[in-house]
Amino acid sequence: MPYELTRAFEFSAAHTLPESGEGHKCRAMHGHNYILEVVVRGEADPQTGWVVDFGEIKRAVAPILDQLDHQTLNEVPGLENATSELVARWIYERLSPVLPGLARVTVAETPAARCTYWSDE
């Protein structure tokens, strides 16, 4: 039976959306207290009983949070237009080589606004 494990993280960052158009409120510099959810999918190991140790997920995510937390996202290479969509994909692309079973990444700017990215590959 397959399982999904979800581990949530928090980071705070500022950004602007330079492509949002003149007069759009998100064109101005502003910040969010982001919630990042990382989902790993797989079978439970018969010996350990788990898909992956939550600590392994935390170790894989730590370098990414170091790059993003309390930063201006637009200054991070690849996030010059730091939409939720691009941030979620950017994180997924960095996690997928180091986190086997990565299923999806969700980035929430607020409790009501979030974006999820997964690969169909």
Q: Where are the domains of the chain?
A: 2-117
Catalytic site residue 115? no
Q: What angle do CA 106, 93, 54 make, to 5 degrees?
A: 60
Q: What is the length of the chain? A: 121
Catalytic site residue 26? yes
Please tell me which residue in 10, 24, 43, 70 is annotated as part of the active site: 70
Catalytic site residue 80? no
Q: pTM for the complete prediction? A: 0.94
DSSP label of 76: S
* Mean pLDDT in residue range 80-84: 95
Query: What pLDDT is stored for residue 23 in this prediction?
Result: 84
Q: How many helices (H) and strands (E) does the chain have?
A: 2, 5
Q: What is the edge-to-edge ordering of all strands in the sheet holding 2-15? A: 71-72, 2-15, 30-43, 102-110, 113-117
Contact (Cβ atoms closer than 8 angstroms) between residue 103 and residue 91:
no
Query: What pLDDT is stored for residue 32 in this prediction?
Result: 95
Residue that has been written with the tokens 């950004």 in this structure = 15
DSSP H helices, the chain, are 54-68, 84-95
Confidence band for 121, pLDDT divided at 50, 70 and 90: low
Residue that has been written with the tokens 């991070």 in this structure = 76
Please tell me which residue in 26, 37, 56, 115 is annotated as part of the active site: 26
Tell me if the domain spanning 2-117 has CATH number 3.30.479.10. Answer: yes
CA distance 38 to 18: 27
Residue 117, pLDDT > 70, answer: yes
